[in-house]
Amino acid sequence: MASIDLGDLVLDWGFRVKCCPRLKLVWHIGPTFDTGPEDRVIKPPPYSQPTGRIDVVMDLQADQQVPLSLTYTDEVGNPVPTPAGATAVYTVDDPTIINLTDNGDGTAVAAAVGTLGSATVHVEATADGTTLTGDLLLVVVAGDAERVEIVAGPPEEVTPDL
């Protein structure tokens, strides 16, 4: 793809071979479920670097996790079978917000570690010699109320001093 910077606009153009279908990557996000203490352990690198391009934004409560998988579509959005030999690698840019487990089979689990904030899950999928990328922004929000805290005000004298 080539680009020309026109000041406030950028003109992009590219070429593609008609015979070969272009694949697109689509996030498939499963239902959320509660985390456990093992999900809150920060994992070591590799960490992703934010690309600045977000495909999907999802709120995730601070005590939940969500399964992630991928589906493939053709260039007009029709679902296609996963290409033979397709591989995917998931990474996260901030493991202090999201604990990411790449299952190595094209799926992953993103678990909130309890800290409020946002982290980007990045995936690189290679299929038919083409590398596709995607970015999912997970915004960790407070969970449902589960406890109540009693807040005591400053002490006051009950009987006046003489």
- Which structural domain range is residue 89 located in? 22-141
Give CA–CA dist 134/157, Å, rounded: 63
Looking at the domain assignment, is residue 105 inside a domain?
yes
What's the total number of domains in the chain? Answer: 1
Give the sign of the dihedral formed by CA 18, CA 10, CA 91, CA 35: negative
Looking at the domain assignment, is residue 17 inside a domain?
no
Looking at the domain assignment, is residue 162 inside a domain?
no
Mean pLDDT of the chain: 83
Looking at the domain assignment, is residue 159 inside a domain?
no
Q: Using one digit for the tens of pLDDT, what is the confidence trace for 24-43? A: 666 777 777 788 888 777 77
Q: Using one digit for the tens of pLDDT, what is the confidence trace for 78-116? A: 888 888 888 999 999 999 999 999 999 999 999 999 889
pLDDT in the model for residue 65: 94
Looking at the domain assignment, is residue 3 inside a domain?
no
Looking at the domain assignment, is residue 53 inside a domain?
yes
Give CA–CA dist 160/125, Å, rounded: 75
Looking at the domain assignment, is residue 152 inside a domain?
no
Give CA–CA dist 161/29, Å, rounded: 66
Residue 17 has pLDDT above 80, yes or no: no
Percentage of the chain lying above the pLDDT 70 cut:
88
Looking at the domain assignment, is residue 96 inside a domain?
yes
Check which CATH number belongs to the domain holding 88 and give it. 2.60.40.1080
Whether pTM > 0.75 for this model: the answer is: no
